[in-house]
Amino acid sequence: MSADLLPALYTPSGPPVVGGTSAGNRLTLITDGNEAFRLAYEAIRQARTRVWLESYIVEPDEVGRPAIAALAEAARRGCDVVLLFDRWGSPRLGRRHAAPILEAGGRVATFNPVLPWQKLGRKVAGILHRDHRKILIADDVGFCGGRNISVDYGGAGPARFFDETVRLEGPCVRDLAHVFSDSFYDATGTSLALPPPPRPFPDGVPVAVLGLNARQQELDLKRAIHRLLQHTRRSCYVMTPYFIPPRWFMDTLCELARRGADVRVLTAGHSDVPAARTAGRHLYGRLLRAGVRIFEHRHPILHAKHLTLDDTVGIAGSYNVDRYGEKHNLEVGVIALDPVFTARLNRTFFERLQHAEEITRSAWQRRTLAARAAQWSLFQLSRI
C-alpha cells in the first residue's frame, strides 16, 4: 500500500486534500495516562515561545489544575499561551479557574457557549456543534488523540478510561497548529499567527494532520480516510468507543470483508454513553453477515480511537468515525505512512482484544425482542 498512500493524500481524485501532509516526522504512541500527562506538562514547562492547548473536557481537578498552573507559568515566561475548551464538555471550568492564565497575559476562549447571552459578539452555532479536538502545541512538539484533561484519563488512582495520545515531532507540528488555529478562529473570529515548520528528521515518516468540521465544510479527514480505505487490500482494524458509523464507512467495511480482508472492530461493551452502545449494536447484523468480526471491550471503558490499514497506515486522533462526530463536531486526525507506528497501534489493538468479548452472529441473532426494539429505537435517535 505504500506506493498508493501518497497519491491518495497528495493528488486525490475529487476535491483536494488541502495541505496538512509533510515528510520527516516522528510519532510516539502513549497509552498510559500518567505518562501522557507527564510528557505533555513537561513539554509545557520547557516551552519558550508558544503553548496552545485545546480540549473538549478540561476539569479543574488533580489533572486539570496542574495544566492551568503550567499554562500560567508559561505565559509569565513570555510564551504565547492560548487555552481553548468546549463549554458543553467543560461545564465546571469557570472564570476563577482561568484567571491565573489571563492575569499572566495568556488567552482563554470557550467554544460555542451554551447560554444565549454568552454568544453576544460571537459566531452563533447550534448547541450540537462541539469542539471535540484534543491538541497541545508546545514549541516544536505536538500532542493529540482522544484523551481529555481529567482524572478519568490519568492521575491518582486507576483511570476510568483506556485512551491513546500521539506525540508528534517534525514539520507535522505546524500542520497540527494549523488545525488548532482553525478551531480558535471558529470560536472567536480571531486568527492566530502560525509558527514556522520544525525541521524534518532524516529518518522521519510522511504524516498528514487533517481536520473535520462539517459546519465549515472542512472535510479533509473524512475524505482522506475514505480514499485510503479504497486502497486497502489485506486488513483493517478499527478501535472506536462509540460505534455508530456513517453509511460510507459501513459500506466500505462490509465491502472489504466480502473481498477477503481481515476486518475487525473493537468497540465499548461497558460505556460511559450506554445509549450509543445500544444504538451501535443495531448495525452488527449487516457487518457480521459480511464477515466483519466485532469485539466489545469490557474494562476499563474504551475511549481510544484509531484505524490501521494493511499494516502500513496508522490513523489516530479524536474522531470516532461516527455519524454524530462527522456531522456536528470539530475533530482532528493524524495519518501516518509508517509500518513501525502502525505496528504499535496493532499491538495495542490485539492487547485490548484480550479484554474483550467477540460478538458472534449466532449470539446476535438470539437477542430478545426488547433488545432489538431498544437498539432500533436508539439508532434512529442517534441520526440527529
Neighbours of 279 (CB within 10 A): 24
**DSSP secondary structure, 142-203, as one string:** EEEES--BSGGGSSSS--SEE--EEEEESTHHHHHHHHHHHHHHHHHS---PPPPPPPPPTT
Average per-residue pLDDT in the chain? 91
Of the candidates 297, 270, 311, the residue with the CA atom closest to the CA atom of residue 352: 297
Tell me what pLDDT residue 17 has: 40
Of the candidates 250, 215, 162, the residue with the CA atom closest to the CA atom of residue 331: 215
- When the candidates are 3.20.20.70, 3.90.420.10, 3.30.870.10, 3.90.79.10, the CATH number that belongs to 2-241+303-353 is 3.30.870.10
Rounded to whole angstroms, the Cα distance separating 211 from 374 reads: 33
- Which amino acid, 170? G
159: pLDDT confidence band, cut at 50, 70 and 90?
confident
Confidence (pTM) = 0.93
**pLDDT-wise least confident of 3-7, 168-172, 351-355:** 3-7
Tell me what pLDDT residue 126 has: 81
pLDDT greater than 60 at residue 212: yes
349: pLDDT confidence band, cut at 50, 70 and 90?
very high
Neighbours of 69 (CB within 10 A): 14
Rounded to whole angstroms, the Cα distance separating 259 from 255 reads: 6
**Where do the domains of the chain lie?**
2-241+303-353
Pairing of strands 293-297, 301-302: unpaired
Cis peptide before 300 (omega within 30 of 0): yes
Read off the pLDDT of residues 97-114 as tens digits, 9 standing for 90 and up. Answer: 999 999 999 999 999 888
Tell me what pLDDT residue 124 has: 53
Tell me what pLDDT residue 172 has: 96
Rounded to whole angstroms, the maximal C-alpha distance in the chain is 63
Q: Provide the grid cell at 10.
A: 497528495
Q: Give the residue-averaged pLDDT of 306-329.
A: 96
Read off the pLDDT of residues 223-268 as tens digits, 9 standing for 90 and up. Answer: 999 999 999 999 999 999 999 999 999 999 999 999 999 999 999 9
Tell me what pLDDT residue 9 has: 53
Read off the pLDDT of residues 353-373 as tens digits, 9 standing for 90 and up. Answer: 999 999 999 989 999 999 999
The three-class DSSP label of residue 343 is helix
Percent of the chain having pLDDT more than 70? 92
Exposed/middle/buried for residue 221 (C-beta within 10 Å: 0-12, 13-18, 19+): buried
pLDDT greater than 90 at residue 2: no
pLDDT greater than 70 at residue 12: no
